[in-house]
């Protein structure tokens, strides 16, 4: 183990990152920028080819960063998993979605582990970063590594270190976000700390992989429950004729005991809509009913239907039915100023309006064309509407699902008769009486 730690400290180690998406790409670049030979693995040939050409395929990660890393000779990419043996460290960053019953789908993790195990060698460390339930690293990764003949903590090391990426965050990105690490053994933890200290500003060691796994779930459950609370309050406030956004602004002036969370059309991204149910599922093994988590999930999943209903009411007041109405949704990405559409509530809105017979389009300058998704393949290939006065005046209703800085809200107010605003985007824009409906 001392030799492995020495390699990290001297930057002689080769760091492999498996899965080059929104988590893996920033990570492989971080190690290349830190002076390591960084080797990215992915089953997607287009991603590997892009990196080898010095190009980025994620909008908020500038191409010049990839080009610089490639030019330095530190960045490499491949679809050949036999090259796992070249690496001293392997960091696994693959999806952990839910199945149709809201139960964990570990197929990506298990397939990835099974793909790398035949090429593992003595003296390596394997780190799982995918969000999952407590026990996954021990049950799925450690077990398979030991079945391959390795002694975990001796001939090979295993750790869990949850990803904490926030795509598009201008203040926190990869290396300046504290890195939680738990090891299968104390020797594994020491190797894991050395691995991450070599690239991250701060490393937070914890006593086990299970503690690290639950830490990630707590972070996201905290957000999911509080968003569920404020979404429920939004509905209640609307019935009372109260603007929930004004209430939140006022409550935010309290300098202690309150953190602002904001309502929306539903939850998006790969973490908040999914991660809480990993704990809910695991807790059932222990006879625990996680009522707060499940209730928050029910509230958050109901929000797209609430927005559709509010839109239907707004159209009805203008003597129009949803059936046959032209509706454009602004923002396909799940959050502001990025191109990430994973679990975006806009898809649920599109499904809801389609069921009612609306003529649908969307506008998102960050997502010019809808790519393939796991759950909404019927929308793949649809292109963003062009932003123009003619196109917006032709709509019966504009629904703001995501607030991008690229939206010209003054033009929107001038050109649109009815705007359903799920993000309080129009709060500082001059509008006509009755033109904006908050939902």
The distance of Cα 122 from the centroid of its chain, to the nearest Å, equals: 34
Residue 179: both structure tokens together: 């890195």
Q: Catalytic annotation on 87?
A: no
8 Å CB contact between 298 and 371: no
pLDDT attached to residue 285: 93
3-state SS of the chain? CHHHHHHHHHCCCEEEEECCCCCHHHHHHHHHHCCCEEEEECCCHHHHHHHHCCCCCCCCCCHHHHHHHHHCCCEEEECCHHHHHHCCEEEECCCCCECCCCCECCHHHHHHHHHHHHHCCCCEEEEECCCCCCCHHHHHHHHHHHHCCCCECCCEEEEECCCCCCCCCCCCCHHHCCEEEEECCHHHHHHHHHHHHCCCCCEEEECCHHHHHHHHHHHHHHHHHHHHHHHHHHHHHHHCCCCHHHHHHHHCCCCCCCCCCCCCCCCCCCCCCCHHHHHHHHHHHCCCCCHHHHHHHHHHHHHHHHHHHHHHHHHHHCCCCCCCCEEEEECCCCCCCCCCCCCCHHHHHHHHHHHCCCEEEEECCCCCECCCCCCCHHHCCCECCCCCHHHHHCCCEEEECCCCCCCCHHHHHHHCCCEEECCCCCCCCCCCCCCEEEC
Read off the tokens for 330. Answer: 């602004």
CATH of domain 2-207: 3.40.50.720
369 beta partners: 383
Q: What's residue 102's pLDDT? A: 86
Catalytic pick among 87, 188, 271, 397: 271
The domain 227-438 is placed in CATH, from the list 3.10.450.50, 3.40.50.920, 3.40.50.970, 3.40.50.720, at 3.40.50.720
Range(s) for CATH 3.40.50.720 in the chain? 2-207, 227-438
- Given this model, what pLDDT does residue 100 score? 83
pLDDT of 2: 61
The ranges of the chain with pLDDT < 70 are 1-2
Report if pTM > 0.85.
yes
């Amino acid at each position: 183990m001392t030799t492995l730690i020495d390699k990290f400290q001297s930057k002689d180690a080769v760091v492999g990152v498996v899965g080059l998406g929104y988590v893996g790409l920033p990570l492989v670049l971080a190690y290349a920028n830190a002076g390591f030979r960084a080797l990215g693995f992915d089953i997607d040939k287009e991603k590997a080819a892009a990196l080898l050409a010095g190009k980025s395929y994620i909008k908020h990660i500038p191409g010049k960063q990839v080009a610089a890393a490639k030019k330095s000779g530190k960045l490499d990419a491949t679809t050949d998993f036999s090259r796992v043996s070249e690496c001293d460290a392997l960091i696994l960053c693959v999806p952990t979605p839910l199945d149709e019953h809201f139960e964990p789908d570990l197929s990506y993790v298990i397939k990835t582990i099974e793909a790398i195990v035949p090429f593992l060698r003595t003296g390596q460390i394997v780190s799982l970063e995918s969000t999952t339930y407590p026990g996954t690293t021990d049950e799925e990764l450690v077990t398979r590594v030991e079945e391959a003949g390795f002694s975990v903590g001796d001939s090979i090391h295993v750790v869990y270190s949850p990803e904490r990426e926030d795509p598009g965050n201008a203040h926190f990105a990869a290396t300046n976000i504290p890195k939680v690490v738990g090891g299968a053994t104390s020797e594994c933890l020491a190797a894991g700390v050395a691995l991450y200290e070599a690239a991250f500003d701060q490393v937070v060691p914890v006593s086990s992989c299970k503690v690290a796994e639950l830490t990630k779930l707590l972070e996201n459950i905290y957000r999911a429950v509080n968003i569920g609370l404020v979404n429920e309050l939004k509905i209640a406030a609307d019935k009372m004729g109260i603007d929930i956004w004004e209430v939140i602004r006022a409550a935010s002036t309290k300098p202690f005991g309150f953190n602002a969370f904001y309502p929306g059309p539903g939850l998006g991204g790969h973490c908040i809509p999914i991660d809480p149910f990993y704990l809910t599922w695991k807790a059932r093994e222990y006879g625990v009913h996680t009522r707060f988590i499940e209730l928050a999930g029910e509230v958050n999943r109901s929000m797209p239907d609430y927005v559709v209903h509010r839109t239907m009411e707004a159209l009805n007041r203008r003597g129009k039915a949803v059936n046959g109405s032209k509706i454009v949704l602004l923002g396909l990405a799940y959050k502001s100023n990025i191109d990430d559409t994973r679990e975006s509530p806009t898809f649920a809105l599109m499904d809801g309006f389609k069921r009612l017979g609306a003529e649908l389009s969307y506008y998102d300058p960050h997502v010019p064309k809808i790519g393939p998704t796991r759950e909404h393949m019927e929308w793949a290939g649809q292109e963003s509407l062009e932003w123009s006065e003619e196109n917006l005046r032709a709509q019966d209703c504009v629904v703001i699902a995501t607030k991008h800085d690229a939206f010209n809200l003054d033009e929107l107010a001038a050109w649109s008769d009815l705007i359903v605003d799920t993000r309080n985007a129009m709060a500082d824009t001059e509008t006509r009486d009755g033109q904006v409906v908050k939902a």
